[in-house]
Amino acid sequence: MNKITIIGSINLDTTLRVSNMPKPGETLHAKEHFTAGGGKGANQAVAAKRSGADTYFIGAIGKDGAGQMMSELLEYEEIDTSAVEVLESQSTGQAFITVDDSGENSIMIFSGANNAFTPEHVEKSQEIIKKSDFLIAQFESSLDSTVAAFKVAKKNQVRTILNPAPARTDIPQDLLATTDIIVPNETEAELITGIKVTDNESLKEAADYFHNIGIKAVIITLGSKGAYYDIDGGKSGIVPAFKVNAVDTTAAGDTFIGAMSTVLKADFSNIIEAITYGSRASSITVQRYGAQPSIPYKNELV
């Protein structure tokens, strides 16, 4: 199994289950309320660790109760948190999630400490990055720090995986230039490329856009339809999703990326098998409630 380092967000999630999403001005009674570990970065780290990877985390929490809880949760998972900085002047990131009966969610994020750690912090974590097989990042934390981390990875032949979520258009060219694998969903792919992804032809066009800026491998997740993959100068296709009844899609994409990266080879030669593995993990996650509590273990994926 691979050595995976994640740079990114650590959030404490508060989830409310409702029958339907509230309309503006509408008050609803929630069916259930619970608090659990979350944050795209932390979710991906938990997915990688539970899938069997040696997992390291670079990020930040506040010196507060939420930070203490998240630190304990990551340590319980046996994720190396030596590069997680505690910032006294910041609050730990939090997410507030509403999930309806169809499993769809609406999420509001308070970034807090996630946006406060710096490239200097990354500088202190170089040795962790250097010994990794893959470095994974998302857009819930400081972009400057992510760019710095990807540059360290590139210099040391460590493969980089960028999950461009939440979607944004102001992606630094330095970041894209040091990205080996990009994993957007359809909406994120359209926002970045300007190409509306509707069929195989537009998927190929979007992939070519990424290849033309130097990204070797493109994986566009398609929800219940599966995932499209395209290796520059190599194979492409769609890996179908597992058919399940979803109750909560909150950590589906994070689980997919974390699990997939655990088994993916650096030359992408087993990309179909890796996507299938990630898809299997994600299909289990969406059948359970909560972000990290829903992520499956390796023995559930065989």
Residue 228: which CATH number? 3.40.1190.20
Q: What is the pLDDT of residue 72?
A: 96
pTM: 0.94
φ, ψ (nearest 5 deg) of residue 77: -75, -5
Is 199 labeled as catalytic in the residue annotation? Answer: no
Contact assessment for residue 223 and residue 214, using Cβ atoms and an 8 Å cutoff: no
Query: What stretches in the chain show pLDDT beneath 50?
Result: none
Q: What is the pLDDT of residue 302?
A: 82
Euclidean distance between CA atoms 86 and 49, whole angstroms = 22
- The total of structural domains in the chain comes to 1
Burial class (CB in 10 A: 0-12, 13-18, 19+), 137: buried
**Segments of 67-209 assigned E as strands:** 80-87, 93-99, 105-110, 134-137, 159-162, 181-182
Q: Tell me if 253 is assigned to a ligand binding site.
A: yes
Q: What is the pLDDT of residue 104?
A: 84
Q: What is the pLDDT of residue 268?
A: 96
Q: What is the pLDDT of residue 102?
A: 87
Please tell me which residue in 54, 80, 180, 254 is annotated as part of the active site: 254
Q: What is the pLDDT of residue 229?
A: 98
Domain around 175:
3-300
Q: Tell me if 230 is assigned to a ligand binding site.
A: no
Q: Tell me if 187 is assigned to a ligand binding site.
A: no
Reported as a single tens digit per residue, the pLDDT across 243-299 is: 999 888 889 999 999 999 999 999 999 999 999 999 999 999 999 988 898 999 999
Q: What is the pLDDT of residue 247?
A: 87
- The count of other CB atoms within 10 Å of the CB of residue 155 is 12
Contact assessment for residue 28 and residue 22, using Cβ atoms and an 8 Å cutoff: yes
Give the residue from 119, 111, 74, 120 showing the smallest Cα distance to 92: 111
